[in-house]
Structure 1
Amino acid sequence: MTDEGGQLPRQRRHTLFFLEAVRDFAPVFLDTEVDMSRVLAHRAAAAEREGVRYAVSAYVLRAAGRVLAAHPDANAAIQGGPRRPRVAHYPFVNGKLALDRTLEGRRVVLGTVVPDLQDAELSVVQKHIDRVRDGDPEVLEDFEGIRRLHRLPWAEGRRAFRQAAGSLASRPHLTGTFSVTSLGHRAVDSFHSVGGTTTTFGVGRILDRPVVRDGQIVIAPVLRLSLAFDHRAIDGAEAADVLTEVKEVLESA
């Protein structure tokens, strides 16, 4: 039996409000392959030495934070139509990480913003991820705004979300200056996502693939990393620089 007259679960309201708010985004999509040999070696050594299991997304957040600090136009936010666009540049790099969580019995996407990634150490990034990933979304302060939004009537919640998302001053603290989203825990090789920021990195799974090293074909763990960028804010050449430099940071970890 289908529920043709049912209402959308209120736990997903923030997702719909977000999708409405990013309609002006002008997306272009890039992707590359990253040899993750050094990342996985570092990850294994840290697990043995420190008892810490670093998430792949932590490495991507840290790498992108350092790269975007050198690309202020890619770390900016744009607002408004072609007649009167406004651009804000930020002296810090905040990364939004999308998480698959359960809130009030409903599986939803929740985002957490990891601040000051321009100089954050990997351990600090991982501690933030652990706290939000393992904490209870029903009580975590990080998601109080989302819970409050769900309690509001539809029209009032929609208006409140649009007001918050429309502020260039508050946006980097709500949605980050860039985004990372990962489906690499499942059988997803690559995907492209629009995170509402000038750049969004999509992280797929790591698989053994043939690569060329020193003229020889070898098998290495390869990550397919995508980048969606807002063409209103930057052009393809700079977006390609950003993706290439993130790849280089990860491969030299």
Structure 2
Amino acid sequence: MATEVKVPVLGESVTEATIGQWLKQPGEPVKLDEPIASLETDKVAIEVNAPAAGTMGQQLFQVGDNVSVGALLALIEEGAAGAAAPAAAAPPAPASAPAPAPAPVAAAPAAAPAESGDPVALSPAVRRAVLEYGIDPASVKGTGKDGRLTKEDVIAAAQAKAASPAPAASAPAAAPAAPAAGGRNEERVKMTRLRQTVAKRLKSAQETAALLTTFNDVDMSAVMAARDAYKDAFEKKHGVKLGFMSFFAKAAVLALKDIPAVNAQIQGDEIVYFDYVDISIAVSAPNGLVVPVVRDCDKLSFAGIEKAIVAYGKKAREGTLTMEDMKGGTFTISNGGVFGGLMSTPIINPPQSAVLGLHRIEDRPVVRDGQIVIRPMMYIALSYDHRLIDGREAVTALKTIKEAIENPTRLLIDL
């Protein structure tokens, strides 16, 4: 008797998802609660776990198909090893050649390599990276959940391959591939549901809000000195590293408390002011940009903020963020500096009214006390909805953040 696998409840107001990938193929053994499929919703990827142990049976949808909550996804047949064997023996049966009786024996070993490099088990982002960098996925050890490959694994393998002198010896063998490299090829990849939603929301933000950006620069000397002085003791006591994000989160709390409009939202014909600060931290995940929410930043310590950021970063890489992790948020911080960005105009995350953009730190000449000195400087940007936030308020909020970072004592005495 087969067990039905149905689309689970996806979250509040979410009724539909897209089949991102099948993690188990028909004929493969399945354990109880083992992930068998990945569904992509508007915000996160959700894994569907097996409701029973057995063998993967019929799959009623293909990758890329849209499915509704409660729809029948697949069937799990009873038995594991016993059912898996007929599945492996099934391919030789259509051949129906009397002589090649040993063929099933040869087919079984061939199935193992196919499984290790099966592109269906890769996420769309990983598949694109594999094609772009020319990496054999079977040769790379995955660091994601259950040993799955991540985009970062593929990039690291490509960098290691480029740095290795070994390819020089195999250059003659690679010569035949040269004509293909010079060709004019095209690849069409369907946008993931997450990417489609990001595109719609960002475009909607541009069309709905009166976006404006104000800039400033920050001398990072004091924060860097504090971090260097206390990072070892901080990590020893709290179990997490002391990063720059917690400083900016606390500095943003000061600014948002002083300028409530930056922490407010327009809802219909009303302005909603919040007496709490929930900061959405933009995180790059394999399937795209996600913004999990660090709640009650105004009440959390530096350690509490760092722990929340680390936990969300891990969940983003593993694809285990939930709808609840992404829900809400009154303000956003996006750090483009980790990718080397010098300056940008970030787009607000609706229905929020402002977003703080951080950028790379670089040594630049500045004037201090009439002298030209070298300081580690960072450009910061505040994009805001001019319908709600006046220019004076935006500039003041950004200036408050700048002053708090340049003099971290302000964070301790709430000034």
The TM tier, using the shorter chain, reads: 0.7 to 0.9
The aligned counterpart of 2:133 is none
Q: CA 1:77 to 1:136, structure 2 compared with 1: closer, same or farther past 3 Å?
A: closer
Once the two structures are superposed, what CA deviation does each residue of 1:172-228 show, in whole Å capped at 9, x if it has no partner? Answer: x72411111011122211111112221111100000111222222211111110110
Tell me which moved more, 36-45 or 210-219.
Answer: 210-219
Which residue identity does 1:129 align to in structure 2? Answer: I
User: Does 1 or 2 have the higher relative contact order (CA < 8 Å, sep 6+)?
Assistant: 1
| Rounded Cα–Cα distance in structure 2 between residues aligned with 1:138 and 1:146 | 16
Q: CA 1:146 to 1:74, structure 2 compared with 1: closer, same or farther past 3 Å?
A: closer
Once the two structures are superposed, what CA deviation does each residue of 1:6-58 show, in whole Å capped at 9, x if it has no partner? Answer: 53223423313422542311111111010011111111122222334323222
| Rounded Cα–Cα distance in structure 2 between residues aligned with 1:187 and 1:137 | 20
Determine if contact 2:334/2:358 at 8 Å carries over to the other structure: yes
Q: 2:270 aligned with 1:90, yes or no?
A: no
Q: 2:186 aligned with 1:31, yes or no?
A: no
Q: Secondary structure at the match of 2:261?
A: coil
| Rounded Cα–Cα distance in structure 1 between residues aligned with 2:211 and 2:328 | 17
Tell me which moved more, 243-252 or 55-64.
Answer: 55-64
Offset, 1:129: 0.4
Give the one of 115, 128, 135 matched to 2:295. Answer: 115
The aligned counterpart of 2:322 is 144
Tell me which moved more, 48-57 or 238-247.
Answer: 48-57
Once the two structures are superposed, what CA deviation does each residue of 1:121-153 show, in whole Å capped at 9, x if it has no partner? Answer: 21111110011112355563xx32299xxxxxx
What TM-score do the two structures reach when normalised by structure 1?
A: 0.78
The aligned counterpart of 2:355 is 200
Once the two structures are superposed, what CA deviation does each residue of 1:78-101 show, in whole Å capped at 9, x if it has no partner? Answer: 134xxxx22111110111110011
Determine if contact 2:254/2:400 at 8 Å carries over to the other structure: no
| Rounded Cα–Cα distance in structure 1 between residues aligned with 2:406 and 2:316 | 34
Q: 2:378 aligned with 1:239, yes or no?
A: no
Residues 1-253 of structure 1: pairs in structure 2 closer than 5 A? 1-3=185-187, 6-22=189-205, 23-51=207-235, 52-80=240-268, 85-102=269-286, 106=287, 108-135=288-315, 140=320, 143-145=321-323, 174-196=327-349, 197-253=352-408
| Rounded Cα–Cα distance in structure 1 between residues aligned with 2:194 and 2:353 | 26
In structure 2, stretches of 5+ residues that fail to align are 1-184, 409-415
Determine if contact 1:111/1:175 at 8 Å carries over to the other structure: no
Identical columns (%): 29
Determine if contact 1:31/1:225 at 8 Å carries over to the other structure: yes
| Rounded Cα–Cα distance in structure 2 between residues aligned with 1:3 and 1:98 | 29
What TM-score do the two structures reach when normalised by structure 2?
A: 0.49
| Rounded Cα–Cα distance in structure 1 between residues aligned with 2:297 and 2:271 | 21
| Rounded Cα–Cα distance in structure 2 between residues aligned with 1:145 and 1:48 | 34
Q: How many residues align?
A: 217
Which residue identity does 1:223 align to in structure 2? Answer: M
| Rounded Cα–Cα distance in structure 1 between residues aligned with 2:231 and 2:318 | 30
Q: Secondary structure at the match of 1:74?
A: helix
Q: Secondary structure at the match of 1:205?
A: strand
Q: CA 1:188 to 1:138, structure 2 compared with 1: closer, same or farther past 3 Å?
A: closer
Determine if contact 2:354/2:384 at 8 Å carries over to the other structure: yes
Offset, 1:70: 1.9
In structure 1, stretches of 5+ residues that fail to align are 148-172
Determine if contact 1:43/1:53 at 8 Å carries over to the other structure: no
Determine if contact 2:202/2:347 at 8 Å carries over to the other structure: no
Q: CA 1:50 to 1:215, structure 2 compared with 1: closer, same or farther past 3 Å?
A: same
RMSD of the alignment, in Å?
Answer: 2.1
Q: Secondary structure at the match of 1:189?
A: coil
Determine if contact 1:97/1:181 at 8 Å carries over to the other structure: yes
The aligned counterpart of 2:109 is none
Which residue identity does 2:378 align to in structure 1? Answer: L
Which residue identity does 2:394 align to in structure 1? Answer: A
| Rounded Cα–Cα distance in structure 2 between residues aligned with 1:50 and 1:57 | 15
Q: Secondary structure at the match of 2:293?
A: strand
Q: Secondary structure at the match of 1:222?
A: strand
| Rounded Cα–Cα distance in structure 2 between residues aligned with 1:128 and 1:181 | 16
Which residue identity does 1:144 align to in structure 2? Answer: T
Determine if contact 2:210/2:385 at 8 Å carries over to the other structure: yes
